Amino acid sequence: MMAMLMRPVRNHSWNVTPLEARQIQESLCQRVDVTPLPDLSQIKTVAGLDVSYAKETNRCYAAVVVTRGPDWEPIEQATAMLDATFPYVPGLLSFREGPALIQALSMLKHAPDLFLFDGQGLAHPRRFGLACHLGVLFDHPAVGCAKRRLTGEHDIPGNTPGAWTPLRDEQTNELIGAVTRTRRNVKPVYVSIGHQLSLDQAIEIVLQTQTRYRLPEPIRMAHRLSNEIRLADLNAEDRSTH
């Protein structure tokens, strides 16, 4: 029998109301582990994860691409198509994308050393963004790398690759992420802890997996793959309907 290597060590109902979703976040956020990894150089493979959607059908197309450093060439990929049962609500993204991403991860034959998500981790109103959520469910190292801000205040980082400024909760002054410049003359990205590493290490992962574009290579590849399977699915649907 084939062992399922990538499966959550804990789970919960995904068929919930927005109110219940917030309660789950407030409960699970206590399990986020910000202990630094003992040795970042032991991270050999990074999985980029992303989801695209079909406007009409509301279907989710999840993609995970496992890459190996130092060049971050893809070594394995997996996808999943699932109809969304939850709407997009700022702060509750993981309840929309989570089920499809979990299914895609379950298809992998090799466990990546770390998950890199297209979204926030701790830089979230309840400190439990997508990267924290799946990191905790899989009990696996995870990083959040978002293109836009969800919450927190910050200054603009210097226009030099690697430059970053703290993203803080203005009320508590808590450090929740790092606004990080990956390329000169390009808008910075929002990096935050997902699970089982430090903010410095999360930043380092994003910078190391970045090549010549704004976003880390694993995320770019997952983004492309999710779009590919979506377009393929929509084309197949057209051909069967006509």
Partner DNA sequence: GCGACAG
Partner DNA sequence: ATCTTGTCGC
**Window 86 to 115, contacts with DNA (CB under 7 A):** 88, 90-94
CB of 227 to DNA, least distance (A): 6
Taking CB under 7 A as the binding criterion, the range among 39-47, 104-112, 143-151, 197-205 that sits at the site for DNA is 143-151
- Smaller CB separation from DNA, 51 or 82: 51
Q: Per CB under 7 A, does 216 bind DNA?
A: no
Q: Is residue 54 close enough to count as binding DNA by CB under 7 A?
A: yes
55 near DNA, rule: CB under 7 A: yes
The closest alpha carbon to 6, from 117, 113, 105, belongs to: 105
208 binds DNA (CB under 7 A): no
Q: Which is nearer to DNA, 6 or 131 (CB)?
A: 131
CA distance 194 to 145: 9
Contact between 78 and DNA by CB under 7 A: the answer reads no
Indicate if the alpha-carbon torsion angle 224, 86, 126, 24 is positive or negative: negative
What is the footprint of DNA within residues 114-133 (CB under 7 A)? Answer: 118-120, 124, 129-130
Q: Which of 32, 43, 47, 51 binds DNA (CB under 7 A)?
A: 51
Decide: is 227 part of the binding site for DNA (CB under 7 A): yes
Q: How far is the CB of 182 from DNA (least distance, A)?
A: 13
| Contact residue for DNA among 14, 29, 40, 53 (CB under 7 A) | 53
Residues interacting with DNA, by CB under 7 A? Answer: 50-55, 88, 90-94, 118-120, 124, 129-130, 144, 146-151, 226-227, 230, 234
